[in-house]
Chain A
Amino acid sequence: MNELINVILENEEGLTVALQVLLQLAAAFVGTVAFSVLFSVPKEYRSACGVTGGVGWAVYLMINSLNHTPIIGAFAASAVLTIMSRYQAVQFKAPTTIFLLCGIFTLVPGAGIYYTAYYTFMGEEATALSYGMDTIKMAVAIGLGIGVAYSIPSFVFGWKKEPEVWNDEN
């Protein structure tokens, strides 16, 4: 890790890369907050949603730049993202959906859908098919990521099913 930071700090190219990464994370945060507004998330949870989206994108970027495997990146990112939203849900005593639905938007294969459409209509079926397959693989990877994260028992996140939880609310 230290070596990596040194490499980044020592040459100018590294600095621009670091800046780009920061800007990307900021964009992921802002984008997720914007979507949380679209889905009418209560104001007090919006920044938490943004953090979820930013962390998801950070994991995706990291794995993608180290291994060049977007599918595995999407899998890991959605797993981390789901774990984060479950943790936040317990902290805020709010439904997990709120954080998960907004955060996951950074990973949805919007680009894949677009390229599939583009090449289909340009008459390049082979390219379109390969993009289509990639899109489906991404979707399955996201699904599996959520699945893995949901298999973690909820007591890990400090969730109690006993009615005390219901009673201590105001």
Chain B
Amino acid sequence: MNEEVRRSIEECSQMERFNLVTRLGNDILINGGEIFRANEAMQYAARVLRLEGFNAYVIANGIFSTAIIDGRFYSSRICYVRLAPIVLCRVDELNHLSRRIAAGKCGPYEIRAELDRIEKMEAAGNMTKIFASGIGSASFCYLFMGSFFDAFTAFLAGVVLNLFLIYAAPRISVSRIMRNILASLVVAMFCCAMYSVGMGDSLDRIMIGAVFPLAPGIPLTNSVRNFLENDYLSGLIRLVDAFLTAGCIAVGVGAAMRIWFTATGGIFR
């Protein structure tokens, strides 16, 4: 650790350092980093920033941390972490930052500047994401035995899905559950409409591809990993998230088909 870093640590108040450490953990967790990663990064940062008796308890949607202030009092922070969209490039950057902190190459002011920068980071623009969603839908449609024609329709459906998620969903502030139901409803209605005007060979395959970006792969994987780390509480939170998301897709798709059947008399073509 060089002299400059040492000096800046001494200059910075204990409160400020404690805040920085919790913020680091919060950022890792909210962008989709693992729980143990958040925990370890906080422990390393606390050691380097000379926070006495630092201890943290991290679960899927919250951080509880304590440190000894002035050598006498226990100070604690409770940090609520909402379930947010995954932004993996930020996790990667935070991981690099955490390495640098642990190596003693990063003072508190630099950490704050880096956190400010990373919190705004994005690896792809909205247009790229919408396009990617279409490509993802199309390739999964093809993977599940769809024809190229199906894949093309699934591409359009995937684009519609992400247009809805990025532009329409934030305006109507609804819960995650309603958002997922609405999104799958919209996309399933779109598929039905496209299919009935003659786009695509198999409705089933188009739909499977189209709803794939909504499928709960992430909460399922994270939940399993939490269970393996003996963190049953976080595992349960994420397992419920996974099952609810799957249920929401089912309800949305089912409702859309019912509506379409009733409206058009059950004949697709």
Contacts and interface: CB of A to CB of B under 8 A. Distances in A.
Given A27-B143, A143-B220, A98 B100 contact: no
A40 B34 contact: no
Interface stretch (B11-19, B58-66, B205-213): B205-213
A111 B129 CA distance: 23
A156 to B, nearest CB: 17
Contacts of A57: 143
Contact of A113 (B88, B140, B227, B246): B246
Interface of B: 32-34, 37, 44, 86-92, 95-96, 99-100, 102-103, 122-124, 128-129, 132-133, 135-136, 139-140, 142-144, 162, 204, 207-208, 211-213, 215-218, 220-225, 227-228, 242, 246, 249-251, 253-255, 257-258
A94 B103 CA distance: 17
B89 A42 contact: yes
Contacts of B208: 110-111, 114
A105 B162 CA distance: 17
Interface residues of A, number: 54
Contacts of B124: 37, 40
A100 B129 CA distance: 19
Contacts of B44: 166
Given A117-B249, A117-B253, A31 B136 contact: yes
B92 A146 contact: no
Nearest to A150: B228
A129 interface: no
A101 B254 contact: no
Contacts of B162: 38
B254 A117 contact: yes
A163 B142 contact: no
A109 to B, nearest CB: 8
A30 B140 CA distance: 9
Interface of A: 23-24, 27-28, 30-31, 34-43, 45, 57, 93-98, 100-101, 104-111, 113-118, 120-121, 135, 139, 142-143, 146-147, 150, 163, 166-167, 169-170
Nearest to B134: A34
A41 B215 CA distance: 18
4 closest cross-chain pairs (CB), A and B = A31-B139, A117-B250, A34-B136, A121-B254
Given A97-B222, A101-B32, 7 more contacts: A31-B143, A40-B88, A100-B221, A104-B221, A106-B140, A113-B246, A114-B211
Contacts of A93: 95, 99
Most buried by B among A35, A40, A111, A146: A40
Given A57-B143, A150-B228, A142 B220 contact: yes
A63 B129 CA distance: 33
B32 A121 contact: no
A117 B254 CA distance: 5
Contact of B92 (A34, A42, A121): A42
B217 A105 contact: yes
A95 B140 contact: no
A96 B95 CA distance: 11
A39 B135 contact: no
B48 to A, nearest CB: 10
A27 B139 CA distance: 5
A55 to B, nearest CB: 14
15 contacts: A35-B213, A36-B88, A38-B129, A39-B87, A93-B99, A94-B92, A106-B140, A108-B212, A113-B246, A114-B204, A117-B253, A120-B250, A147-B228, A166-B99, A169-B99
